[in-house]
Amino acid sequence: MNASLFQYAGIKDKRGKTCQEVTIH
């Protein structure tokens, strides 16, 4: 689950979101 979250955070970050924001989401 953690790995998936990290990967998702990277994708969102590229879209223009912060990794931290994704983690909180």
1-25 burial: b if 16+ Cβ within 10 Å, else e: eeeeeeeebeebeeeeeeeeebeee
Predicted confidence at residue 16, as pLDDT, reads 59
Residues of the chain scoring pLDDT < 50: 1
Predicted confidence at residue 20, as pLDDT, reads 59
Predicted confidence at residue 11, as pLDDT, reads 64
Predicted confidence at residue 3, as pLDDT, reads 60
Number of compact structural domains in the chain = 1
Which residue range is the domain that position 14 belongs to? 1-25
Tell me which amino acid residue 19 is.
C
